[in-house]
């Protein structure tokens, strides 16, 4: 009796070895045609709590930005598969040369140069790793199977795995039983109950599991079998070497693993009885570098930075598809005009049922005007508008501080001249001119359509 089950065949190497997120990438590509329903999400506990003095926080932010900026590399194609190769055995990529490492990788993969024309090998000298980008799945499988490379007549072990795909984020669930293997994790998480889940991996021998989602949002809860488990956004730590004590790379790819230093004070050749006063290189606090209590040990996740950019774009009105808000017509009609002069003003207005509005403001100018007594004049104005029989009337009443002392009228009073301005229509002249231009454009468009219709007939 034959039983046919819907799905796709996976090669044995996908589930027999830890090749990173290769299975998740394959599962995501097969599900591209389907639209998964998303959860309503809310982010909690993303940023570490503020603590310490302002100087320590600024110092930590500055050091962390410097480390992250040094590890930043040119972007790679988003749809390509990214393979991370971590050389071990003290291989220094910057010292031996990036071209020598690239040739060694191509030789170990066994890929012909003709088939690797679209592949890109990008070394990261700060992290001492190599990233390979390829649009061909067969080449990606070959790169992930690399175990050793030969550089300068010396064999170095390599840990190769596939990185998470673009436009995906990671979540963390805790308290998972240690007896559950990789197959149990996939079966309990990657199913129809969690439509956005692409894969799951355990962090070493702990009860913490990383879940990859096909979205820029992490759900608050994940179904692990029938159990509802709380899910948090995954935050990447700042790379810190436990061997040489430097920031920017990890201990497994340290170019000088024999130069062991103290993580607290940075002293070398220490023994078991070494005592020191630790100082963190990230935040400057009295603890070892990147300790669990360090408030600068985590990087800001990309999804958080992306949402901040979107909120900033919405606030400034420069978001894509919102160009109408920045047009001159909308700016004039909304009355959002910014003056580049040297005058500053602030005011307060209130409206009663749309018929009466009063505003009271203060204005000051950098160019001072002095009266006969030599004192600087400042003016406070009060203006109001009343609506009667479809007519808008703007009235201005001003008073000067100098008048309280019996002085002459101020510069603002002389400019206003005490005259009231009448506007017989309910809209400013700028909007009237824009309305006329819009009407003219509509007439021209109508004439153009009629002309095209006649010629087509």
- For 428-448, how does the pLDDT look when each residue is reduced to its tens digit (9 = 90+)? 666 777 888 888 889 998 898
Pull the structure tokens for residue 137.
């799945």
Name the 3-class secondary structure at 402.
Answer: helix
**Termini Cα distance of the chain:** 68
Q: Supply the DSSP symbol for 163.
A: P
Residue 328 is predicted with a pLDDT of 41
Q: Dihedral, CA atoms, 188, 189, 194, 197, nearest 10 degrees?
A: -160
Residue 304 is predicted with a pLDDT of 83
Q: Supply the DSSP symbol for 180.
A: -
In three state form, how does the secondary structure of 2-68 look? CCCCCCCCCCCHHHHCCCECHHHHHHHHHCCCCCCCCCCCCCCCCCCCCCCCHHHHHHHHHHHHHHH
Rounded CA Rg of the chain: 34
DSSP 85-151: EEE-SS--HHHH-HHHHHHHHHHHHT--TTTTTT-EEEEETTTTEEEEEES-HHHHHHHHT--EEEE
* Residues sharing a CB contact under 8 Å with residue 451, sequence separation 6 or more, in sequence order: none
Residue 338 is predicted with a pLDDT of 43
Distance CA 11, CA 228 (A): 32
With tokens 């488990």, the residue in question is 229
Distance CA 214, CA 165 (A): 9
Pull the structure tokens for residue 114.
């003709």
- 224's enclosing H/E stretch is strand 221-224
Residue 109 is predicted with a pLDDT of 93
CB 280 within 8 A of CB 289: yes
Distance CA 398, CA 359 (A): 12
CB atoms within 10 A of CB 7: 7
Q: Go through 134-161 and write b for each residue having 16 or more CB atoms within 10 A of its CB, e for each that does not.
A: bebeebbbbbbebeebebeeeebebbbb
Query: pLDDT digit string (tens) for 13-68?
Result: 444 456 666 666 666 655 554 444 443 444 444 344 444 555 666 666 777 677 77
Q: Supply the DSSP symbol for 252.
A: G
Distance CA 413, CA 382 (A): 12
Q: Tell me, yes or no, if the pTM score tops 0.75.
A: no
Residue 375 is predicted with a pLDDT of 42
Phi first, then psi, for residue 358 (nearest 5°) are: -120, 145
Q: Go through 304-318 and write b for each residue having 16 or more CB atoms within 10 A of its CB, e for each that does not.
A: beeeeeeeeeeeeee
CB 383 within 8 A of CB 359: yes
Strand 227-230 to 221-224 pairing:
antiparallel
* Residues sharing a CB contact under 8 Å with residue 212, sequence separation 6 or more, in sequence order: 21, 24, 164, 168, 169, 170, 197, 198, 199, 200
CB atoms within 10 A of CB 282: 22
For the chain, what are the domain ranges? 79-164
CA angle at residue 189 from 185 to 194, to 5 degrees?
170
CATH number for region 79-164: 3.30.70
CB 301 within 8 A of CB 233: yes
CB atoms within 10 A of CB 382: 14
Partner residues linked to 421 by β-bridges: 394
Residues of the chain with pLDDT under 50: 1-8, 10-16, 33-51, 319-405, 419-423
């Amino acid at each position: 009796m034959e039983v046919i089950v819907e799905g796709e065949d996976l090669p044995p190497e996908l589930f027999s070895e830890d090749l990173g997120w290769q299975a998740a990438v394959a599962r995501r590509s097969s599900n591209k045609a389907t639209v998964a329903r998303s959860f309503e999400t809310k982010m909690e506990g993303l940023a570490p709590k503020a603590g310490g003095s302002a100087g320590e926080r600024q110092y930590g932010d500055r050091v962390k930005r410097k480390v992250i900026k040094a590890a930043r590399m040119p972007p790679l194609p988003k749809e390509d598969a990214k393979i991370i190769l971590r050389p071990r055995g003290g291989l220094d990529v910057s010292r031996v040369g990036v071209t020598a490492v690239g040739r060694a990788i191509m030789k170990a993969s066994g890929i012909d140069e003709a088939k690797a024309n679209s592949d890109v090998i990008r070394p990261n000298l700060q992290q001492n790793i190599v990233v390979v980008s390829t649009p061909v799945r067969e080449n990606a499988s070959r790169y992930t199977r690399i175990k050793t490379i030969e550089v300068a007549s010396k064999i170095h072990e390599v840990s190769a795995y596939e990185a998470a795909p673009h436009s995906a984020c990671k979540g963390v669930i805790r308290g998972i039983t240690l007896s559950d293997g990789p197959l149990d994790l996939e079966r309990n998480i990657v199913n129809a109950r969690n439509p956005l889940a692409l894969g799951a991996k355990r962090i070493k021998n702990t009860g913490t599991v990383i879940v990859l989602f096909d979205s820029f949002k992490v759900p608050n809860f994940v179904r692990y079998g029938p159990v509802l488990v709380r899910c948090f956004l995954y935050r990447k730590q700042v790379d810190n070497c436990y061997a040489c004590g430097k920031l920017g790379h990890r201990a497994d790819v340290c170019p000088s693993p024999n130069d062991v230093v103290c993580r607290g004070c940075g002293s070398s050749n220490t023994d078991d009885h070494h005592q020191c006063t630790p100082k963190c290189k990230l935040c400057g606090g009295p603890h070892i570098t990147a300790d669990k209590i360090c408030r600068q040990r985590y990087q800001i996740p990309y999804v958080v930075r992306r949402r901040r950019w979107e909120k900033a774009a919405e606030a400034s009105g420069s978001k894509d598809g919102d160009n109408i808000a920045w047009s001159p017509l909308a700016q004039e009609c909304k009355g959002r005009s910014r003056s580049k002069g040297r005058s500053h003003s602030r005011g307060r207005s209130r409206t009663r049922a749309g018929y009466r509005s009063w505003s009271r403001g203060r204005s000051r100018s950098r160019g001072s005007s002095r009266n006969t007594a030599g004192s600087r004049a400042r003016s406070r104005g009060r203006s109001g508008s009343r609506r009667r029989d479809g007519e808008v009337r703007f009235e201005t009443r001003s008073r000067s501080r100098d008048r309280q002392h019996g002085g002459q009228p101020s510069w603002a009073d002389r400019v206003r001249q005490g005259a009231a301005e009448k506007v017989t229509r309910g809209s400013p002249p700028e909007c009237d001119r824009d309305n006329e231009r819009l009407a003219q454009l509509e007439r021209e468009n109508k004439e153009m359509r009629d002309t095209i219709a006649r010629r087509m007939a």
